Amino acid sequence: MALTWAVILSACTAPSTGPGRAVPPGYLFAGRYLDITAPNSAGWRLVSEKPDLWAFARNGSEPDETYIASVATFDLPAAISRDDFVALVRRNAERDSNPDRFKDVRSTVELSDVRPYPCVHYQATAEDTQAKTRTGDRRPLVFEMVGLYCQDVLLRDMGFAAIYSHRGNTADPQFQKDAADFVAGIRVPGH
């Protein structure tokens, strides 16, 4: 899978007043294969608008708090079984997380029935032991991530991932709600 923690973490340092363009809360980017809805709160910037990676970023209320919402596409075997799909997401999550940097607190990978096509739900909470802060120093921060990885219902050899992440001094009590709201806004048109 093309989407790695490195992509998400590099975007985590993108300030909401920096690169990219401001987007209104809940703005719909209608597409031929995917409809992408921007997160439904103020302060988000579209920092990547590539065919295979859309990413939104915003700062939180604390100095070193950042949020990333992203959508990525990836190649997928057209005939993959549900069990193999779960194993693929698990394998890639393990491969993409650096054990020298991230201390796993909790993570789950499981089939999801929230869509009428095959999806895998991935959730992780970790301590980012080498987080680079806005002042340039490095110190531990909490990293939370929710992702829904789905096989495209129209293009069976392609998958897409909707991922919402937060990094800050403490866990965000609104994180699960905001993540679920963003993931729900990423849809295959007509499905």
Structural contact between residues 62 and 169, judged by C-beta atoms closer than 8 angstroms: yes
Task: Tell me if 68 is assigned to some domain.
Answer: yes
Task: Tell me if 188 is assigned to some domain.
Answer: no
Over residues 80-108, the pLDDT tens digits come to: 899 999 999 999 888 887 888 898 889 99
Closest by Cα among 78, 67, 23 to 168: 67
Task: Tell me if 16 is assigned to some domain.
Answer: yes
Task: Tell me if 47 is assigned to some domain.
Answer: yes
In the chain, how many domains are there?
1
State both tokens at 93.
Answer: 């999550």
List helix spans (H) across the chain: 5-12, 82-96, 175-184
Task: Tell me if 191 is assigned to some domain.
Answer: no
In a structure prediction context, what are the per-residue pLDDT tens digits for the chain, which is 191 residues long?
434 444 444 444 444 456 899 999 999 999 888 999 999 999 999 999 998 999 999 999 998 999 999 999 999 887 889 999 999 999 988 888 788 889 888 999 999 999 999 999 999 999 999 998 888 889 999 999 999 999 977 777 889 999 999 999 999 999 999 999 999 999 988 77
Closest by Cα among 75, 152, 78 to 119: 152
Structural domain of 142: 5-183
What is each CA distance from 50 to 8, 53, 75, 156, in whole angstroms?
15, 5, 16, 21
Task: Tell me if 144 is assigned to some domain.
Answer: yes
pLDDT for residue 178? 97
Task: Tell me if 39 is assigned to some domain.
Answer: yes
Task: Tell me if 52 is assigned to some domain.
Answer: yes
d(CA 2, CA 53): 9
d(CA 119, CA 110): 9
Residues 6+ apart with CB under 8 A from 34: 71, 73, 160, 186, 187, 188, 189
